[in-house]
Amino acid sequence: MSSDLKSKFLEVYETLKSELIHDPAFEFDDDSRQWVERMLDYNVPGGKLNRGLSVVDSYKLLKGEEELTEDEVFLACALGWCIEWLQAYFLVLDDIMDESHTRRGQPCWFRLPKVGMIAVNDGVVLRNHIPRILKKHFRSKSYYVDLLDLFNEVEFQTASGQMIDLITTLVGEKDLSKYSLSIHRRIVQYKTAYYSFYIPVACALLMFGENLDDHVQVKDVLVEMGTYFQVQDDYLDCFGAPEVIGKIGTDIEDFKCSWLVVKALELANEEQKKLLNENYGRKDPASVAKVKELYHTLNLQGVFEDYENKTHEKLVKSIETHPSNAVQAVLKSFLGKIYKRQK
């Protein structure tokens, strides 16, 4: 990603923010305007911006050799920011539900003394900014209603995925028997894959004048890629170097439905299952160490490498059956970014 595109992208953020805090539908005073501005600056632009930048990337690849107009760059960036806003909305509320302490290397928004539970309403405000941005910049486009539909549908899928995750990992009743590859797959697909992988490409396709109903195969490939991405995430949480991935993994302590524990349950004998049941989801370092030791004994690193190679091969084959070279380029660019990643 060229740095000039990233700075252009951040410029568009400033424009959108300014429009939102001067939205004629609400009479702001200085306090409310300042609150929204601080809340946006704290929660929206702080991440890697991969999802948002992917819209611009994908649109460029669809256009091929043709140069993008200033207007096209702005609109692709605006859609990218809508995805970043959606992400911010989920993360602000997720952190409250998970009682997290840090996010992107700083305290969670709700942990700030002045914020607290106002963060719940801030989440709602973030969610409502998306249709405001779409209305202002896309109202006259032929694909406007498709954009609204897309964001509504992906939000529904993500919230429902979050629900399966929350009710499966209920801390009150730590029951590993509920964990299986199929439940892991469903959580990941709905909670992560749609909004992280499908929606950026879907936005680019709509801008390019395509009908999403004609691209079910593209959706399937991207959701599969999103699943693979999350399996990598689960793997790195345990085996990645904290100084590389930028966070200390806590999936074992948090009783997460991780690909690793699901695979371990599949491969373990009765005695090993007993060890998992006794130690998984406990905060003390000794229990965590026992789980990690079992992961090594079961050679989960080897099992993961095997999964990674097989999935990569399968995805490439699937992508190469696509009739459009431009669409193939978009999908291969996504896959290239995540294959064998270390963070």
User: What domains can be seen in the chain, in order of their start residue?
Assistant: 1-140 (1.10.600.10), 145-342 (1.10.600.10)
d(CA 264, CA 107): 33
The 8-class DSSP code of residue 200 comes to H
- What the block records as the tokens of 291 is 């789980």
Q: For the chain, which ranges sit under pLDDT 50?
A: none
pLDDT of residue 262: 96
Tell how strand 102-103 and strand 106-107 pair up: antiparallel
d(CA 160, CA 168): 12
List Cβ neighbours of 208 (8 Å cut-off, separation of 6 or more). Answer: 59, 62, 63
d(CA 278, CA 174): 10
Radius of gyration over every alpha carbon of the chain, rounded to an integer in angstroms: 21
pLDDT of residue 47: 86
Q: At what angle do helices 259-267 and 300-320 cross, to 10 degrees?
A: 110
pLDDT of residue 171: 61
